[in-house]
Amino acid sequence: MRMAGWKAATLLAGMALAGPAAAQQAPARDTAPAAAAAAPAAAERTPNRSVTRGSGVFNGVRVDYTATAGETFLPGPDGNPRAAIFSTSYVRAGNDPNRPVTFLFNGGPGSGSLWLHMGAFGPVRVAIPSNATDDGAPPYPLLPNPDSLLDVTDLVFIDPVGTGFSYAMPGVDPQEFYGVTQDARSIAQFIRLWLSENGRWNSPKYLGGESYGTTRSAAVLNQLEGQYNDVALNGVILISTVLDFGAGADTPGNEVSYALNLPSMAATALFHGKSVFAGTPTEQLVAEARTWAMDVYLPALMQGNALTGERRATIRRDLARYTGLSEAFLDRADLRVTPSRFYKELLRDRGLTVGRLDARYTGVDADSAGETPDNDPSFYGIDAGYTAAVNDHIRRTLGYRTTRNYVTIGGVGQWDWRLNAGRDSDTYMNVAPYISRAMRENSGLRIFNAQGWYDFATPFFAAEYALTRSGFPRDRITFTYYDSGHMMYVRDEDRVKLSEDVRAFIRGR
């Protein structure tokens, strides 16, 4: 994930209850405090919550559940609340203390949990086009989601401070929560409070995140298991993974990132009919591209200006075959194509750009001769539907009352990327070692990694590179792949597949 300009705004990174399109059991609302226009002092307040009951069929199993939408106060050392974390929990009737529970969040940093909630795993989903076209204007259908995981696990969708309806208390500087470690510490505190309140300390526990949410998953895992009063986890679900920010940084001088992006470019060129490998299965092509990228391309790039003559010509020819770009363009780019240039160049002859989050999407820029795209068509093609859906579901169906706006993405300030206290910066920001350490110290911990072929925000080869380094037990990591991009669940077939894959992972404990 690269944190500049419009790109930063696109990092994410997405039924049983009765809704406009559902003919199921209507929710029965319990009494809960509603938000007042003028909130009382933090010390006098109680968390604002709404509790409803619903029922639905998930993976063919009828599940009655309680939905709780509302705040959990995070106390400081003096016992006074310093922040309110908003979450939406779905707990199967009976509150079985031995039933698995899965805590889920999205990324950003600065994104609410609406994407995974309303797109993948919640009991209700928003229906937007599955074929990588724009979601248009409302109304957006809200449908029962038979692919929800409620048949195998309770679900808790978490909005970190600055996202969703979560916030720092009056008088508390929200920057206290805006950083890799600070954010993870607050989420770990929330999880401990939730387990205590719901009597679930001995339940099998799973953590799941998307995009920066995978970074958060690693950091939260470290907060939960990296000390003696730990909360042991059964599994971590990584969706569109970014862990090693050093290797994946698209910055001059980092030759590794060009190799890590190459297989995604090959898959995208094939999808859009710009590849000499037409008719080759995507999985077969990316396997070949992986090998070429590491065995041939990266060693060539590391020769720098010593790469000349016939050797350079051979690399340029093969790079053109994989990327679908002309040899003339690749020569001018010195055999190093950044993703932003690729989005603009691949379909320039058609007057189109390709998406960053999902390169199946295409867009039209005001200036087709420019260097980089105006915006990401794979984000503006979905955001309106999800924003409308989460507000409608939480406010109307779940009955949560508040005067706050739901912050979908971009709600946090300057992010503190430091991992090591007392240092001004981390010269190589990588949270993957948090996961490998936890796996070595918890023999029951397993990792699930899901990636889309057409995702340039968190390329699949970069995720593989981070999770296959020394120190990782290979036999406890599952890799799955999808014919879509960053949010693979926007494609109907891949939403079903993702649900089946995660369900099998949870059952496999």
For residue 107, what pLDDT is reported? 96
pLDDT at residue 45, as a whole number: 81
Q: 213-217, 246-250, 327-331: which has the minimum mean pLDDT?
A: 246-250
pLDDT digits (tens, 9 = 90+) for 301-352: 999 999 999 999 999 999 999 999 999 999 999 999 999 999 999 999 999 9
Q: What are phi and psi of 118, to 5 degrees?
A: -95, -5
Residue 18 has pLDDT above 50, yes or no: no
- The two structure tokens encoding residue 442: 């918890």
Would you identify the CATH topology of the domain 5-246+383-507? Rossmann fold (3.40.50)
Confidence (pLDDT) at 428: 87
Residue extents of the structural domains in the chain: 5-246+383-507, 268-380
What's the mean pLDDT when you consider all of the chain?
A: 91
Distance CA 499, CA 79 (A): 40
Whether pLDDT at 27 is above 60: no
Can you tell me the distance from the alpha carbon of 348 to that of 298, in angstroms, rounded to the nearest whole number? 27
The answer, as to whether pTM is greater than 0.95, is: no
Virtual torsion, Cα 389, 394, 398, 400, nearest 10 deg: -150
pLDDT (tens digit per residue) in 432-470: 999 999 999 999 999 999 999 999 999 999 999 999 999
Q: Is the pLDDT of residue 39 over 70?
A: no
Please check the confidence at residue 28 and state whether its pLDDT lies above 60.
no
- Beta strand pairing call for 446-452 and 235-241: parallel
- Give the single-character DSSP code of 120: I
Contacts of 437 (CB under 8 A, 6+ apart): 222, 226, 471
Helices (H), 338-469: 339-345, 377-380, 383-391, 432-441, 460-467
Check residue 424 and give its pLDDT.
57
Q: Which amino acid is at 80?
A: N
